[in-house]
Structure 1
């Protein structure tokens, strides 16, 4: 039997044994907009969805393709079904990382048509690390790396209502999907 969770949209999904048809962008946007970064240890509510929007904005500011920006927007999408776990803890959970990777790849394949290339993965990782660095510097004063990463643009770190963030996430997703179709000429069902 597949253990399932019920999502915001009413879809039931087994995070450990997902099916593409169970993945829904509205569920991703909603859940990530309610999930805090840093396990809730920032002084204000700052969501995973805000972080994802910031990663996408940094990629856009660098002039990245719509597909690369979309990959940045979706890079934490699996957390909508699994939860956000801090890096130090995640490193101790190999089975969680395996489940996360399977689910994240399925999300990428559903919305990006094909898995990200190594180059695209490097871009996503760099944007994610850059956002992580500046989030911690802004909210805690801590510098996580010896050398500050280059950023084409820095986000405005402010507490945002979750519904506003959810709407921004969905609007950017739709825009990037349309642009990716124009650039690549292919789109699957959402």
Structure 2
């Protein structure tokens, strides 16, 4: 089945994102060099510069594309969109306590498409707002405050993501608001409970529960289309 047949975008036209049926994942990152060291550059008394080596903080993890990534010491040039898309497509929202598998990647695509009318940059932030979870996993909201160091690590990885893709360092308020409101749409995939009543202002998106491979493809297609819009100077 072609991608344009798989695309289900509610009331949003496929043309919003341009031709997606010939999408080929693309990124200008190179394979990791294997250099595990950073360099500190220090001024010398004679006005010159000296440098000293320092090891990367923590250990590295292997990514889907076979690269090294230091989650405690992230670099923008080691962030790869294919790694993000693949990892998020295999991670289930709500720690897996859903009626059907529903990925972080699909959640992100719905946000991006809903926010497209707010501008390309906002939509990109919506697509990538959970990108740090590709390297730190999706931790349930009640758990995060009780994991020492997690918020700091999350901030560092997101800073690297923002630098890599040229996003503002602060999440737009409209993205944060949509990330909360979409919970109201996602409740159809959870067993009914009293707390659901708090989310009475949903976005109105249709949760599809895509298979991981489709979620990955939709994520990459949306990213490529938004980057193309940006390159053409579209708002």
Q: TM-score, normalised by structure 2?
A: 0.70
Higher CA-based Rg: 2
Aligned match for 1:127, one of 173, 178, 189: 178
- Kept in 2, the 8 Å contact 1:71–1:116? The answer is no
Distance 2:145 2:183 in 1: 16
Q: Equivalent residue for 2:190?
A: 139
Which deviates more, 133-142 or 160-169? 133-142
Bigger relative contact order, structure 1 or 2, given CA contacts below 8 A and separation 6+?
A: 1
- Kept in 1, the 8 Å contact 2:98–2:189? The answer is no
Q: Which runs of 5+ in 2 are unaligned?
A: 1-54
- How big is each residue's C-alpha offset from its partner over 1:138-161, in whole Å with a ceiling of 9 and x where there is no partner? 43334446352252x322x23322
- Kept in 2, the 8 Å contact 1:77–1:107? The answer is yes
Relative to total residues, which structure has the larger helix share, 1 or 2? 1
Aligned match for 1:4, one of 60, 64, 67: 60
Distance 1:39 1:81 in 2: 16
Equivalent pairs counted in the alignment come to 178
Moved over 2 A (4+): 136-147, 181-185
Question: Where do 1:4-153 residues align within 5 Å?
Answer: 4-60=60-116, 63-111=117-165, 113-117=166-170, 121-142=172-193, 143-144=195-196, 146=198, 148-151=200-203, 153=204
Distance 2:179 2:79 in 1: 22
- How big is each residue's C-alpha offset from its partner over 1:128-179, in whole Å with a ceiling of 9 and x where there is no partner? 111123212543334446352252x322x23322111101100100110111
Root mean square deviation of aligned Cα: 2.0
Relative to total residues, which structure has the larger strand share, 1 or 2? 2
Question: Where do 1:135-174 residues align within 5 Å?
Answer: 135-142=186-193, 143-144=195-196, 146=198, 148-151=200-203, 153-155=204-206, 157-174=207-224
What is the SS of the residue equivalent to 1:91?
Answer: helix
Task: Rate the CA distance shift 1:20–1:138 in 2: closer, same or farther, 3 A.
Answer: same
Q: TM-score, normalised by structure 1?
A: 0.86
